[in-house]
Chains A and B, each alone.
Chain A
Amino acid sequence: MPHPMLRLTRSQARTAGAVVAAACLALTTACGTGGTASGKGKIVEDAGPPQDGGILHTAATADAPSLDIQKEASYMTHVAVGTVYSRLVAPKTGKDVAYGSSELEGDLAEKWSKSEDLKTWTFNLRQGVKFHDKPPVNGREFTSADVKCTVDRIKTLPGHQLGLVAGVTEVATPDPYTVVFTLASANTAFDQTMANPFMAVLPCEGTKGEFNLAEEAIGTGPFVLKSWKRDQERVMEKNPDYFIEGLPHLDGIQTTVLPDAQAQIAALRSGKLDMIASLSTEKRQVDQLLNQIDGLQLRTEKGITQTRVFMNAEKGPFSKLEVRRAVAHAIDKEGMIKALRSGGTLTGPISPTLFGALPQDEVDGLLEYDPEKAKKLLAEAGYPDGFSADLVATDGYGETILREAQWVQEDLAKIGIKLTIDQQDYATYVSSTWPETKYDIMYGLQTPMLTADEYLTSEYTSTGTRNWSKVDDPELDKMVAAQRVITDEAQREKALQDIERYIMENVSTPLPLYAYDTQTLYSGKVHDYYPHPDYSSRELQDVWMEQE
Chain B
Amino acid sequence: MSIAISGTARAAHRPRARSGLVRFTREQPLGAIALFLITLFVVVAVLAPWIAPYDPLAQDRVNILTAPGVGGHLAGTDELGRDVLSRSLYGARTSLLIAVATLALGGAIGLVVGVVSGYFGGTWIDSVLQRIMDALMAIPSIVLLLFVAALLGPSVRNTVIALSLLVIPSINRVARGEMLRIREEPYVEAARSVGCGTPRILIRYGLPNLMAPLFVMGSLLFAVILIAESALSFLGIGTPPPTPSWGRMLSEGRSQLEIAPWMTVVPGLILSVSVLAFNLLGDAMRDFLDPKQRR
Interface residues of A (CB under 8 A from B): 261-262, 282, 284-285, 288, 332, 335, 339-340, 395, 399, 402-403, 405-407, 409-410, 421-425
Contacts and interface: CB of A to CB of B under 8 A. Distances in A.
Contacts of A262: 254-255
* Secondary structure class of chain A's binding surface, majority of residues: helix
| Interface size of B as a range | 20 to 34
A399 B251 contact: yes
B79 interface: yes
Interface in B229-254: 236, 240-242, 251-252, 254
Given A339-B61, A339-B80, A405-B241, A284 B259 contact: yes
B80 A423 contact: no
A339 B256 CA distance: 13
Contacts of A423: 153-154, 236, 240-241
B61 A421 contact: no
A34 to B, nearest CB: 18
B154 A399 contact: no
Given A284-B259, A340-B79, A407-B80, A399 B64 contact: no
List 6 tightest A-B contacts by C-beta distance, closest first.
A423-B240, A395-B236, A406-B242, A410-B59, A339-B64, A284-B259
Contacts of A407: 59, 80
10 contacts: A284-B259, A285-B256, A288-B259, A339-B64, A395-B236, A406-B59, A410-B57, A421-B241, A422-B240, A423-B240
Contact of B242 (A282, A284, A399, A409): A409
Contact of A406 (B80, B256, B259): B80
Interface in B106-162: 150, 153-154
B59 A424 contact: no
Interface of B: 57-59, 61, 64-65, 79-81, 150, 153-154, 236, 240-242, 251-252, 254-256, 258-259
Contacts, number: 53
Nearest to B150: A425
Contacts of B57: 410
A339 B255 CA distance: 14
Nearest to B154: A423
Contacts of B259: 284-285, 288
A335 B79 CA distance: 12
B72 to A, nearest CB: 19
Given A399-B252, A425-B153, A339 B81 contact: yes
Contacts of B242: 406, 409, 421
Given A395-B236, A423-B240, A339 B258 contact: no
A341 to B, nearest CB: 11
A91 B170 CA distance: 65
Contacts of A282: 79, 255
Contacts of A403: 79-80, 252
Contact of B255 (A399, A422, A425): A399
A153 B96 CA distance: 62
Nearest to A424: B153
Contacts of B58: 410
A332 B62 CA distance: 13
B131 to A, nearest CB: 32
A340 B256 CA distance: 12
